[in-house]
Amino acid sequence: MSNDFEVAALAARFPSGFAWGAATSSYQVEGSTTADGRGQSIWDTFVSEPGRVVDGSNGDKAIDSYHNIEGDVALVGELGLNSYRFSLSWPRICPDGDGKVNRAGLDYYSALVDALLEQGITPWVTLYHWDLPQALENGGGWPKRDTAERFGEFAQIAHQALGDRVKRWITVNEPWCAAFLGYSSGEHAPGRREPAASIAAAHHLMLGHGLAARAIKEAEPDATVSIGLNFYPVYAASDAPVDVDAARRIDGVQNRWFTDAALKGAYPEDIVDDFTAVTDFSFVEVGDMEVINAPLDCLSVNYYSQYTVTGREGGAVSASAAPTGAGSPWPANEHVGFMTTGLPQTDMGWEIAPEGLSETLRRLHANYPDVTLAVTENGAAFPDKLVEDQVADSERLDYVREHLGACADAVEAGVPLIGYFAWSLADNFEWAWGYTKRFGLVYVDFETGQRVVKDSGKWYCDLVRTARSNGEAK
Ligand code: FCB
């Protein structure tokens, strides 16, 4: 446990005007999946299929945020945060994924935005955090170009309704997961196992990003537009060429594929070569890369862990050491093993590697110097216990403290970091892990919905209040 002196010293390392936040996503917290005209999403379908979610649960109720605007916003305020990142459920707003709008869906988000602004909290809105309208999946989903075009329209609809109050937009969250866990390993909705289609899906997610970015910037040049990508430093298990090549491939797919497309307007050549084994790229049309290369104001960095990989078949592989799906059966992952290095792990089996975050931020800034950065997700699952109104989650507290230290290191190294968002505001539905993994700063009793701020949340609040009062004094 750290003391007041440590908190003050850490707080002093952040610039004034920094965005201090926590993040959630629609399907993970809202519940009310059939209320007020919401259409079906691919996650509603996926969770209804036996064996998809470890505890057989679903997001029908989640943590009932749909009925709890006041409570959720009060929590964000209680934690002292000046920013809150949440996502829009596309099928709540456009039930069939086309231009037909469900007013009640927009009204919900409009009320949420108003409630945040009343408390002086800046909304950071993600347009796509994986809940694709099922109607679009029925038409082929992300492997089809049409889905990207519909997404561009959706961005326009969302901006028209909320853009007078929302100034920070994140187009797509983690297209790596949406494409490869959704369409290749099948661990996420829609649960397809089609490697070639997953590469087309990745392209159309990026095209959708570009179309959305363009729509928002055309309507409002001053809006801050971003894309949310998940980054991992990737280390080779040894100097052996086979391991070094495995690291190149995983780094290429995980880190360079999406950033090079968005910020350089080209996919990395070496990974294009790897992928030609399974796809001819006929889905890439003339002009697509320019759209994907739409001007970005900020790059949203989601960071959890690091990878150490081997290309040796039968090498000391521990699939559980890798975040979900890292060893997914798609071509570029062939013969790549993810290894444990002995570092402490979270309840997901993810290695705790805070210095990897400062390394990631420094590397991104070196490679893409023109864009500001924000850490829009960072956090850890641990098996928390509520004991007499207290959740003594010292491991999460240490995790958050160490990663914020890594952010401060990056700031001091000259990285233009503008914010930090803990994942997550509160325990919620963790995708294929259901309710078995708790990531919140706030504990949620999934039966009663009761919320209790964990020790990590109290510590974070202390830090944020100190940093914000420094900022005001400066
Ligand atoms: C990220 C997701 C987020 C949550 C965390 C733990 O990949 O964006 O929704 O599941 O992992």
| Residues 211-252: tens digit of each pLDDT | 999 999 999 999 999 999 999 999 999 999 999 999 999 999
Please, what sign has the CA dihedral across residues 402, 7, 24, 120? negative
Q: How crowded is residue 469: how many other Cβ atoms within 10 Å of its Cβ? A: 12
pLDDT at 472 over 50: yes
**DSSP for 290-337, written as a single string:** HHHT---SEEEEEE---EEEE-STT-S--GGGSSTTTT-SSGGGTT-E
For the question of residue 78 being annotated catalytic, the response is no
Strand runs labelled E in 218-274: 224-231, 234-236
Is residue 288 within 6 Å of ligand 1 at its C-beta?
A: no
Of all helices (H) and strands (E), which one includes residue 170? strand 168-173
List, for residues 248-307, the tens digit of each pLDDT value: 999 999 999 999 999 999 999 999 998 888 899 999 999 999 999 999 999 999 999 999
The alpha carbon of 109 and the centre of ligand 1 are apart by a number of angstroms equal to 21
In the block, tokens 């990631």 appear at 360
pLDDT grade for 315, boundaries at 50, 70 and 90:
low
As a whole number, the mean pLDDT across the chain is 94
Q: Which residue among 174, 187, 351, 430 is the active-site one?
A: 174
User: Where is average pLDDT lowest: 16-20, 219-223, 320-324, 358-362?
Assistant: 320-324
Is residue 377 within 6 Å of ligand 1 at its C-beta?
A: yes
With pLDDT > 90 as the criterion, what percentage of the chain qualifies? 88
User: Where is average pLDDT lowest: 39-53, 420-434, 460-474?
Assistant: 460-474
Is residue 353 within 6 Å of ligand 1 at its C-beta?
A: no
- φ and ψ at residue 415, rounded to 5 degrees: -75, 130
Which residue has its alpha carbon closest to ligand 1 atom 4? 430
Query: Quick one: pLDDT at residue 328?
Result: 46
Is residue 187 within 6 Å of ligand 1 at its C-beta?
A: no
Ligand 1 atom nearest to 379, measured from its CA: 6
Is residue 350 within 6 Å of ligand 1 at its C-beta?
A: no
Q: Write out the residue range of the structural domain in which residue 154 sits.
A: 3-473
User: Where is average pLDDT lowest: 76-80, 269-273, 470-474?
Assistant: 470-474
Pairing of strands 298-303, 234-236: unpaired
The alpha carbon of 185 and the centre of ligand 1 are apart by a number of angstroms equal to 17
Query: Quick one: pLDDT at residue 319?
Result: 39
Q: How far is CA 242 from the centre of its chain?
A: 31
Query: Quick one: pLDDT at residue 43?
Result: 98
For the question of residue 351 being annotated catalytic, the response is no
In the block, tokens 């995983």 appear at 250
3-state secondary structure of 471: helix
In the block, tokens 């009932």 appear at 64
Query: Quick one: pLDDT at residue 333?
Result: 53
pLDDT grade for 321, boundaries at 50, 70 and 90:
very low
User: DSSP label at 426?
Assistant: B
Average pLDDT over residues 115-135: 98
Cβ neighbours for 64, distance < 8 A, ≥ 6 positions apart: 30, 31, 32, 449
Tally of domains in the chain = 1
Strand runs labelled E in 32-150: 83-87, 122-128
Best residue for ligand 1 mutational test, from 28, 230, 431 (most atoms within 8 Å of Cβ): 431
Q: How crowded is residue 100: how many other Cβ atoms within 10 Å of its Cβ? A: 11
Best residue for ligand 1 mutational test, from 377, 396, 435 (most atoms within 8 Å of Cβ): 377
Q: How far is CA 356 from the centre of its chain?
A: 17
Largest Cα separation within the chain, whole Å, is 62
Rounded distance, CA 442 to CA 176, Å?
28
For residue 193, what are its two tokens? 């196992």
Ligand 1 atom nearest to 230, measured from its CA: 7
Bridge partners of residue 227, in order along the sequence: 299
Looking at per-residue confidence, does 75 or 277 come out higher?
75
Best residue for ligand 1 mutational test, from 232, 324, 430 (most atoms within 8 Å of Cβ): 430
Rounded distance, CA 419 to CA 373, Å?
8
CATH of the domain at 321: 3.20.20.80
pLDDT at 329 over 90: no
